Amino acid sequence: MPPPLGPAVDTTPRPLPARVPLRGQFVVLEPLHVRHAPELWRAAQGADESWAYLGYGPFPSQDAMARHVGDLSVNVDYVTWAVRPVATGEASGWLSLLDIQPKHASIELGGIWFGPAMQRTKAATEAMFLALRHAADDLGYRRLVWKCNALNAPSKRAADRLGFTFEGTHRMHQVVKGRQRDTDWYSIVGDEWPRCRDALLGWLDPANFGPDGTAKRGLAEIRATG
């Protein structure tokens, strides 16, 4: 008997993400540019702990942040967007599509930094959704990846909330800021995405929020009930 093989798939290489704006109800993603640095610097004030699990930051000065933003904006391996919530009009974070593998239709959402005022907001959720939808629906990637430091509890909760499935831990995966890092891997694959997408759209529906802005139903509940 022949050896078992995986299912046949469309082998057409997926397009690379373009550096174009992505617009939602609560947030706009703008291709990162050094001109965003002054607003991002303001968003970072008093937020040193927000850099704990990233390979960079906190920055000692606005110039230092501007240099980093400039480098990120021209990195050919990443596509990075500044995140501008509609409610404030101020760029308050960034995120990237990276580890882009067009031949394997695999792409990672990562390099995420949100200032404290943007964390746990509708804008934060929609920002991640816009990037994922662009990758899966516009570009046709089959495997959406999320990776984080195994000690980063908020990032792990975010992956679970968005509908990612935990795949395992790469032990002693990296050295970050002089410390050993184990990395947890998550994914949304194939036909899992439509259900995650529809749940996110349901959660982001203005009708899902009360007068005080509190969500009536959580993402897990919406995914479970359809």
Enumerate the domain spans of the chain: 22-225
- Asked if pLDDT for residue 111 goes beyond 90, the answer is yes
CATH class entry, domain 22-225: alpha beta
Instruction: Extract the tokens encoding 84.
Output: 């501008």
Is the full-model pTM beyond 0.85? yes
pLDDT of residue 161: 96
Closest Cα to residue 173, out of 201, 197, 149, 140? 149
Q: Which whole-number Å values give the CA distances from 71 to 21, 64, 76, 153, 157, in the listed order?
A: 19, 11, 10, 28, 29
Kindly tell me if the per-residue pLDDT of 224 is higher than 90: no
